[in-house]
Amino acid sequence: MKKRIVTGIKPTGDIHLGNYIGAIKPALELAKDEEYQASYFVADYHALTKMPEPGELPQLTNGIAAAWLAFGLDPNQSILYRQSDVPEIFELNWILACITSKGLMNRAHAYKGIVDHNRQVGKEVDSGVNMGIFTYPILMAADILMLKTDVVPVGKDQIQHVEIARDLAESFNHHYGETFVLPQFQVQEETAVLPGLDGRKMSKSYHNTIPLFEEPKKLQKRINQIKTDSLPPEAPKNPDESTIFTLYKEFASTEQVEAMRARYEGGIGWGQAKKELFEVMNNYLEEPREKYNELMASPQKLDEVLVMGAEKARAVSVPFLKEIKQKMGFSL
């Protein structure tokens, strides 16, 4: 039997290059592998922890779904769905909540990070924390366990969440008998952290991102904002410490990368390096951008794909939830 891979992206803002390189690209490679059955979803209920404005969510959700498709996810071969279209996940969420110790959630790093920050600035420890944020890892465990997932491709910051899912699966199995598959995380080491415009990790919270589907002119402007040092053009430069080069590597061919490396060592002006980064990036993104725009202009078509995906996910989740409840003693 094929191994199941599942991963989700939260629709909380415009999707950026870091999301693509760190999550979408490696996940698409796995989806092509015959060994795997891939299920990719838009974690729209997870986005509720940030209380989106009324009507904001559909557009953001469609944006993530369109991005998967624009980069070549085949919805007939893989399963693409909205989390909120699979209600069994939320029933399982409660079941898992009841086997999760509160202490485990206290130690989950996203929550702990907020608490530590609040302490530092002298605020009440739980300031700004809603129960969605606190129990976020439980819903994520439900996403993973509901589909009998073997492998979860994630960024480094999500490893702990997959470990929590595994712990909860083990506790349940121990108490009610073998039920859940124990999931494993998979991190794409080399590309897990993409630098942003200021050289720090590309992240929405640092406001240093490059949106994926921006028009070429804006993309160029953005690339021109990448921070560089004040070395003169002819000075040799270290490609491995350059944000421009790190980004270039993701979009250029092996030969182009080798040639660029040599030019760094021989001296290249930052302006020229940026120009060439723009060219390879724009070239790479042109086709997906067109496809993305097309999909965003026909939300009905997107909806059809997502509804079909949810049906396929539910072909697993409906009977499996029954089995889970039976194990717990519910009469069905």
314 is an interface residue for ligand TRP by CB under 6 A: no
Residue number, nearest CB to ligand TRP: 8
Residue 84 corresponds to which amino acid? S
100 is an interface residue for ligand TRP by CB under 6 A: no
Q: Which residues contact 252 (CB under 8 A, 6 or more apart)?
A: 260, 280
- Out of 38, 40, 105, 143, point to the residue binding ligand TRP (CB under 6 A): 143
89 is an interface residue for ligand TRP by CB under 6 A: no
Which H or E run includes 42?
strand 36-42
203 annotated as a binding-site residue: yes
CA distances to 36, 101, 296 from 97, rounded to whole Å, are: 29, 8, 36
Decide whether 158 or 188 has the Cβ nearer to ligand TRP: 158
DSSP 8-class letter at 3: E
Task: Compute how many residues bind ligand TRP; rule: CB under 6 A.
Answer: 13
> Contact, 9 vs 28, CB < 8 A?
no
How is residue 22 written in tokens? 């760190």
237 annotated as a binding-site residue: no
If 0-12 CB within 10 Å is exposed, 13-18 middle and 19+ buried, where does residue 109 land?
middle
Stretch that binds ligand TRP, among 7-15, 94-102, 233-241, 299-307 (CB under 6 A): 7-15
Tell how strand 79-82 and strand 36-42 pair up: parallel
> Contact, 69 vs 41, CB < 8 A?
no
E strand map for 254-331? none
Decide whether 48 or 99 has the Cβ nearer to ligand TRP: 48
> Contact, 112 vs 164, CB < 8 A?
no
47 is an interface residue for ligand TRP by CB under 6 A: no
87 annotated as a binding-site residue: no
- Out of 38, 47, 69, 144, point to the residue binding ligand TRP (CB under 6 A): 144
- Out of 67, 146, 154, 169, point to the residue binding ligand TRP (CB under 6 A): 154
Least Cβ distance, residue 167 to ligand TRP (angstroms): 15
Decide whether 165 or 226 has the Cβ nearer to ligand TRP: 165
Least Cβ distance, residue 123 to ligand TRP (angstroms): 24
> Contact, 33 vs 164, CB < 8 A?
no
140 is an interface residue for ligand TRP by CB under 6 A: yes
Decide whether 204 or 261 has the Cβ nearer to ligand TRP: 204
230 annotated as a binding-site residue: no
- Out of 61, 78, 158, 246, point to the residue binding ligand TRP (CB under 6 A): 158
46 is an interface residue for ligand TRP by CB under 6 A: yes
How is residue 117 written in tokens? 């920050």
If 0-12 CB within 10 Å is exposed, 13-18 middle and 19+ buried, where does residue 178 land?
exposed
> Contact, 29 vs 170, CB < 8 A?
no
Enumerate the known binding-site residues for L-tryptophan: 143
Instruction: Give the interface with ligand TRP as residue ranges (CB under 6 A).
Output: 6-8, 10, 43, 46, 140, 143-144, 152, 154, 158, 161
Enumerate the known binding-site residues: 10-12, 18-19, 143, 155-157, 194, 201-205
